[in-house]
Amino acid sequence: MIGAGIFAALAPAAAAAGQFLLIALAIAGVVAYCNANSSARLAAVYPSSGGAYVFGRERLGEFWGFLAGWGFVVGKTASCAAMALTVGAYAWPEHARIVAVITVIAVTAVNYAGVHKSARVARVIVGFVIAVLAVVVVLSFVEAGGPRLPEDLGTVGVAGVLQAAGLLFFAFAGYARIATLGEEVRNPAKTIPRAVAIALSVTLCLYALVAVAVLSVLGAEGLAAAPDPLARAVADYPGAEQLVRVGAVVAAAGALLSLILGVSRTTFAMARDGHLPGTLATVHPRFRVPHHAELAIGAVVIALVLLTDLRGAIGFSSFAVLTYYLIANASAWTLSSRPHTRLIPALGAGGCVVLAFTLPTASVAAGCTVLLLGAAIYRVRQRMRVN
């Protein structure tokens, strides 16, 4: 979870919530916890890979499994664009799109060659990112003379706070990976939920510290206007500013590497199951990777980088991924008829719906259009099978 999201999502969230940014962050964390808890319960029953694509198919029917997979693919493809734009915003703000396109091409080429980010590299990146965030917090508090939240609460309404929560939900991506470890830990029924709670609590506390630190220096308006807010917060310390920029680039590029890998593999699985064109299930004879799927995802990401901005990419991604977790929560609801076991799936499903439909109007419209397109593709392919 602790990666590029915090570098990218604070500014658009601050534009929506203003001084109520911390409340929005807490709401996003609660919804993420409900989603992760539901995913953990489902993963204990269905330990195979695929997440809500499998859960929805097994608990609700094939169409809902497809819709979850489709939402994951389109949502995480938009996440790829957001990560690439984050690289550009921190590496070379004046030419962010050019840098983003070059980054996508480079990462796609690396994945095409079968080079993947190992767990050891991931740990190194996370450690480096945490150190960078610590630098931001310490120097921002020194600059501001301690934590200083704006006193003027402004006129932000409930809708603005919820919209910010939906955008900040993007920064918690990754929590559900814990839920897939049911076959690898002792007593998963207790260990996995506890791990989810601890991981989300630590992440939420760190994000809250960063948000308070940046607000203390830039204020809500300055934070909302900055494409690279964490670097701007320490701009009076040139060496620290460059460190933060490097940290953001490393975090975003590492996330992009994993995202393109994951999206291409889900695309490959859906194509193999007959839900997407069969050519996307082609495996390279030498590198043993689904190269058609990787090239297709890379091309779509480049198109998004050229056509949208960071706020639009984050909003669209959040809408699609919230739809994915809505299906996961609905699937978890069917696991038991006992009221107390249905509380968290109900809260998670309700939270997903509320956050999804309070996102920016353009994101909601684009998300609904793409989901309807996916449903239409499913129906057409079903009819072709029958005929």
For residue range 20-78, list pLDDT tens digits in order: 999 999 999 999 999 988 988 888 788 766 788 889 999 999 999 999 999 999 999 99
What pLDDT score does 175 carry?
76
What pLDDT score does 86 carry?
97
Could you give the domains of the chain? 5-386 (1.20.1740.10)
Residue 153, pLDDT > 60, answer no
What pLDDT score does 118 carry?
74
Residue 298, pLDDT > 70, answer yes
Q: Are the beta carbons of 305 and 81 closer than 8 angstroms?
A: yes
Q: Are the beta carbons of 254 and 117 closer than 8 angstroms?
A: yes
Share of the chain above pLDDT 70, in %: 96
Q: CB-based contacts of 263: which residues, under 8 Å, 6+ apart?
A: 72, 73, 76, 77, 80, 297
What pLDDT score does 151 carry?
66
Residue 15, pLDDT > 80, answer yes
Structure confidence at residue 179 as a pLDDT band (50, 70, 90): low
What pLDDT score does 173 carry?
85
Q: How far apart are CA 369 and CA 65, in angstroms?
A: 18
Q: How far apart are CA 257 and CA 269, in angstroms?
A: 19
SS3 387: coil
For residue range 154-174, list pLDDT tens digits in order: 677 899 999 999 999 999 988
SS3 157: coil
Structure confidence at residue 194 as a pLDDT band (50, 70, 90): confident
Residue 178, pLDDT > 70, answer yes
Which candidate, 300, 264, 293, places its Cα nearest to that of 278? Answer: 293
For residue range 307-335, list pLDDT tens digits in order: 999 999 999 999 999 999 999 999 999 99
Q: Are the beta carbons of 156 and 150 closer than 8 angstroms?
A: no
Helix axes 21-45, 188-225, angle to 10 degrees: 150
